[in-house]
Structure 1
């Protein structure tokens, strides 16, 4: 299903969320409006490496980031493997792959780096490589 976020449509696999599409869209809209910082949705995580990375991403609090290397160390794998799994995240924004960044830069986001930056700024997160960070 397509869900608008800051003027861009993001594809979200609603089959992985135990909620009707209207509830999913409403919670994303509340997030965008600043009413909600976390989602109250039951997620069906895949039983594979991507699912493990998704669970790790879901533990990153709003307004914070982790590097691909941080998650790689936590999951005992390589940063590139974490990046690939982030790219396979079927429910972006709700499972916050935008909170995973490079050590010195934003780097990679299926929705585009402009949207990644906008999501992080919306949450008040420091942005790597930003002179004001």
Structure 2
């Protein structure tokens, strides 16, 4: 069984409401922390995390599920939550499927499935600058 993950990366739109729905972490992002958070059957693994700047702001966050009737009924809750948040904010939402281990990204209400590492790095590199001067 793979490990699923739901990661919202804050951009211009502040995600305070979603951060407050979870458990405050406020720690520098690193792979060990992410693995620990998303390990099944741990207190922090349910829900999503919010990354603000270069820090994990909170985990166990609740994101709104998409209400789009065109979304496939086969799409799981994690992907629906990613789409929902991306419809309501400008966040980049990264999803790792618990079933397949495949990585998808939701941006602006659109889902891109099965990204390889290079594609994911390109998407994140093009859209996310943690030190961006134009943050509100």
- Same fold, TM-score > 0.5, yes or no: no
TM-score by length of structure 1 reads: 0.30
Higher helix share: 1
TM-score by length of structure 2 reads: 0.30
Higher strand share: 2
